[in-house]
A = this chain, B = another copy of it.
Amino acid sequence: MRQAGRYMAEYRTLREKHSLLDLCRHPELAAEVTLQPVNRLDVDAAILFSDLLLPLDPMGISFDFVEGEGPIIHNPLRSATDIAKLRDFDSRDDLGYVLDTIHLLRRELEGRVPLVGFAGAPFTLASYAIEGGPSRNYENTKALMYGEPKTWHRLCESFVSVISSYLSAQVEAGAQALQIFDSWIGALGPSDYREFALPHSQQILRAASSTGVPVIHFGTGTATLLELMAEAGGDVIGVDWRIPLDDAWKRIGDNHAIQGNLDPTLLLGPTERFSDGITDILRRADKRPGHIFNLGHGILPGTPVENVKMAVHLVHSY
């Protein structure tokens, strides 16, 4: 969960010279950033350093990252006309730099830990593209969803097509697992999820699974959506900290693995507090196979690296 990032001094040093997009778009830099936490933290996987929004650019949605505010989309989608103009593209041409980063990483990792690739799920990508950035109420997204359901579904189908081929290109390039981020899906209730998100997520998850690698299906605020997310697909369902891990696992079912679920704010400190939180999660997982210990969402910029190292150590020693 954002294991490479601003909380690490070596990342901040690189960011002094390069923008976030520069880091993503230069394979040598993206590979360097990917390896920073692998080298420092003793984590069990390398997470490709990249961004959920990269596929928007070759579709014709231009954006930038504004320091402290996150992504800003210059031409947010607001109408059927905007959506009709979106372009399909070939990841090998337009996101070739991501695939090159994966190649490079597999060589540099030499099998030390597996490399996880990722992409956004349709609802989450659509919400960025429509709102123009992060949102509290997702009102433009939902207004389109409720008001022009056909246009909504057409937009999601564009994402399904583009993201499905992007994911298989990642696996061909060497990604050994895939994570599908539906980070903002918790804005929907179950019946809206079933109508507006599930059919598209299902298609992307099916495409991801057909590559043969394990697939993680992640969201936040999903306490009432877990059964439906499991139905949509993925070998592993990711859960945030709002639901105890054992309750979540019961809802997801024995035929799925689970990923989670430490509150990232716990890693701000103190040690005793996050150590108790980690032990509680591991106790609830009950040493059953199929638990990937992880945070419930991204590491926060103010997190001390020592705390993250300690957390990894605590999980390993348990």
Chain B, Cβ-Cβ closest to A247: B224
Bound-state CA distance A201–B101 (Å) is 51
| A143: chain B residues within 8 A (beta carbon) | 265, 268-269, 302
- Tell me if A64 counts as interface (CB < 8 A to partner B): no
Find out whether the CB atom of A263 lies under 8 angstroms from the CB atom of B223: no
| A280: chain B residues within 8 A (beta carbon) | 191
Chain B, Cβ-Cβ closest to A145: B265
Bound-state CA distance A186–B222 (Å) is 12
- Which listed residue (B189, B247, B269) contacts A147, Cβ 8 A? B269
Find out whether the CB atom of A142 lies under 8 angstroms from the CB atom of B265: yes
- Tell me if A111 counts as interface (CB < 8 A to partner B): no
CB within 8 Å of B: which of A300-315? 300, 302
| A139: chain B residues within 8 A (beta carbon) | 265, 268, 300, 302
| A300: chain B residues within 8 A (beta carbon) | 137, 139
A188: min CB distance to chain B, Å: 8
What band does the interface of chain A fall in when counting residues whose beta carbon is under 8 Å from B? 35 or more
- Tell me if A221 counts as interface (CB < 8 A to partner B): yes
Q: Which A positions have Cβ atoms within 8 angstroms of B?
A: 134, 136-139, 142-143, 146-147, 186, 188-192, 221, 223-224, 241-244, 247, 263-266, 268-270, 273-274, 280, 297, 300, 302
Apart from A137-B264, A143-B268, A223-B223: 13 A-B pairs, beta carbons within 8 A: A139-B265, A139-B300, A146-B273, A146-B274, A147-B270, A186-B221, A188-B242, A189-B242, A189-B244, A190-B244, A191-B244, A221-B221, A221-B242
Interchain Cβ contacts under 8 Å between A and B, 17 examples:
A139-B265, A139-B268, A139-B300, A142-B265, A142-B268, A143-B269, A146-B265, A146-B269, A146-B274, A147-B270, A147-B273, A189-B241, A189-B243, A191-B244, A221-B242, A224-B242, A224-B247
